[in-house]
Amino acid sequence: EAQQHQVFEQVLMAGREGQHADAEEALERARRLHAPPGKLEVLQGQIELMANRNPRAYVHFERAVKLLPDDLTAQSLLALTCLRRQLFDQGETIYRQLGALQPTSVEDYLHRARVEAYFEPDKAAQTLSRAVEQDRASLVARLIRAEVDVVRAIDTANLDTAERALNDYRLVRQLLGDTPLVTSGLLEAYLAAATACRMNGQAEYRKQLLTEAAQLAEQMADSSIYREQRARAFYYDYVGDVDRAVQQMRKFQHRHVVFLVLTHIRRGHFDQAREACQGTMPDARANRSVDFFRTLITAMQADSADAVRREFSIAGSVKLDPIHELLAIYTVSCLVDPAAIRAKHCQHLAEGVVD
């Protein structure tokens, strides 16, 4: 059992680092250790999830849940995959059922907390602390806690939360060195902490954090790893060097183009945003996002709410229901001409929602 736990950690660490061959090798070791079939499905699903192959991950976690219906890790990961695939109703339904299952391992605490972070962030923070207390030697536990804390710190501007993430990343860095997973996470934690400092009036500490962040960003200058390129893009965008941010985003636009598109839109560079949308993405969900932004860009350049209505549509199998489509049209209409459009068309659109 101890050996299996070690293999589970190896799969998670390798997968999170993007070293999928190493993750597959660890999975093979789990097979040789005669791990139960349901546990093997969980491991295979995690490899697929960390490779951003969400539909494949969903299949493995469904199988795992059928084999291990009372397994908290399997249920949690199925819920997490549903949320990532935008199957929100199914994901929330599974999440509401997790309370009936008791955690029996560090993995149970970790993966339940990842789902809790979507619905109850404060509760997720408590669950992650229990995971770290259960196994203080678990680097995976600290990494997942740090990732959740960064998001929570950004949402709340809580400096204590941001500093806990910084401390977790620094500890893991001492043990693992400058791996892409650690350096990219640490850089994002610096930005979360700097934001919390700005919101709480701690200018000197914020300056220190941004100095350390700048050094770390420069250290990753030649990286070809997606995680590090994305973190550097976030850093440059945060400090106002948008040109360098765009340069970074172009390096990984084949992997994730949404950041680049949104940055062009924010700068009013609609032609460049539309051009960025021309590439195809490997994931169907991402393709729907690109379709949405392509339509959004065209709609934002329209000169009337009627023109916006004609342009606003989402290609693909997923459609907005009529009410949310109308609300989206109204939102984009306000972006086109906040004063005139809102005054002229608000009543008409509101009547449509009521109807």
Give mean pLDDT, residues 301-330. Answer: 59
Locus of tokens 């469904």: 62
Closest-CA residue to 228 (of 219, 215, 240): 219
Distance spanning both ends of the chain, measured CA to CA = 60
The CA distance from 187 to 177, in Å, is 14
With tokens 């339509």, the residue in question is 295
Name the strand (E) or helix (H) holding 98: none
Convert 137-153 to b/e letters by CB count within 10 Å (16 or more is b): ebbbbbbbbbbbbbbbb
Q: How many helices (H) and strands (E) does the chain have?
A: 20, 0
Token pair belonging to 329: 């049209």
Q: What pLDDT score does 284 carry?
A: 41
Side chain identity, residue 242: V
What is the per-residue DSSP string for 308-343?
HHHH----SS----HHHHHHHHHHHHHHH-HHHHHH
> With the C-alpha atoms ordered 128, 134, 136, 137, is the resulting torsion angle positive or negative?
negative
Tokens for 264, please give them. Answer: 């062009």
Amino acid at 180: P
Question: What is the predicted pLDDT for the residue at 1?
Answer: 61
> Per-residue confidence at 321, pLDDT binned at 50, 70, 90?
low
Q: Which of 162-171, 195-204, 232-241, 342-351 has the lowest mean pLDDT?
A: 342-351
Give the confidence band of 304 by pLDDT, cuts at 50, 70, 90. Answer: low
Tens digit of pLDDT for each residue in 72-89?
A: 999 999 999 999 888 889
Query: 336 falls in which pLDDT band (50, 70, 90)?
Result: low
Handedness of CA 183, 189, 193, 195 (dihedral sign): positive
Q: Which of 25-29, 123-127, 214-218, 309-313 has the lowest mean pLDDT?
A: 309-313
At 269 the three-state DSSP class reads coil
Residue 210 has pLDDT above 70, yes or no: yes
Q: Which residue has the higher pLDDT, 290 or 118?
A: 118
pLDDT at 299 over 90: no
The answer, yes or no, to whether residue 354 has pLDDT greater than 80, is: no
Q: What pLDDT is attached to residue 120?
A: 92
Q: How far is CA 205 from CA 24, 185, 188, 196, 314, in A?
A: 43, 20, 16, 10, 45
Q: How far apart are CA 353 and CA 52, in angstroms?
A: 37
Average pLDDT, the chain: 83
Radius of gyration, CA atoms only, the chain: 22
Q: What is the pLDDT of residue 308?
A: 63
Contact in structure between 161 and 125 (CB atoms under 8 Å)? yes
pLDDT at position 330 is 58
Using one digit for the tens of pLDDT, what is the confidence trace for 7-59?
777 877 777 777 778 888 888 888 888 889 999 999 999 999 888 888 999 99
Highest mean pLDDT: which of 30-44, 155-169, 331-345?
A: 155-169
User: 331 versus 255: which is more confidently predicted?
Assistant: 255
CB of 187 within 8 A of CB of 217? Answer: yes
pLDDT of residue 323: 53
Q: Quick one: pLDDT band at residue 270, thresholds 50, 70, 90? A: confident
pLDDT at 123: 92
Calpha distance 29→319 (Å, rounded): 44
Please provide residue 325's backbone torsions phi and psi, each rounded to the nearest 5 degrees: -65, -45
Nearest CA-CA partner of 274 in 307, 247, 297, 249? 297
Please tell me whether the overall predicted TM-score, pTM, comes out greater than 0.85 for this model. no
Average of per-residue pLDDT across 253-264: 85
342 within 8 A of 310, measured Cβ to Cβ: no
H or E stretch including 262? helix 258-266
pLDDT computed for residue 328 by the predictor: 61
